[in-house]
Amino acid sequence: MAKLSVNINKIATIRNARGGNNPDILQVARDCEKFGADGITVHPRPDERHIRYQDVRDLKPILTTEFNIEGYPQKSFIDLVLEVRPTQVTLVPDSPEQLTSNHGWDTQKNYVFLTEIVKEFKEKGIRTSIFVDPVPQMIELSAKLGADRVELYTEPYASAYPKGKEMAAQPFVDAAQVAHNCGLGLNAGHDLSLENLRYLIERIPFIDEVSIGHALICDALYLGLNETIKQYKDCCK
């Protein structure tokens, strides 16, 4: 069964829209765990437009499940991760002005850069994952540079799913097998939803973890957070 890590960035976006502490990020994280989430994901960006660096520091001591911090490895991000020491860090090739993640790493072009960063995190006992497109070479190089896992960028799967789920999933099935053959753990994330998650898990039953934020929080507006997490967990079986 794939683990479900809930990305709470969107909760922070709502809070920041009005200032103050409503909704309470820490309480939402506790509730996600209480309702069955296997982990909490945050993606602090330099402008702190949703999750703030202080949120990351405040979350660490209260979480009882896995903590995953995503982001581009600039110095301030690296320093934060080394300070907090989460269960996992996911390296994402976001530029500061990006609205959201929209592609994986070119691990060939950034091989030396990523190798040095991965080594630093692993020396501190932090599991390290590389955000990649479903391209075999990028996955193979992720293994060679020392990563523990890769996270497949699944937006193309989600976009193509309504037109034909088999064709949408096949590149990711192939990429997952490459990761498996390389001895890498496998995560997946971006635009996964109650509509398309179950089929991906059926096709790739050895996915270790899915990280889901936007769709899950949107569903929670209609279903409630407790019921939403239950339904996503059911898709992960």
Residues designated as active site: 43, 70, 190
Exposure string of 24-55, with b = 16+ CB inside 10 Å and e = fewer, is ebbebbbbbbebebbbbbbbbbeeeebbbbeb
The residue length of the chain stands at 237
Cα-based angle 218, 43, 206 (whole degrees, multiple of 5): 75
Rounded Cα gap, residues 57 and 54, in angstroms: 5
Q: How many CB atoms lie within 10 A of CB 171?
A: 17
In sign, the C-alpha dihedral spanning 35, 38, 40, 43 is negative
For the chain, the C-alpha Rg in angstroms (whole number) is 17
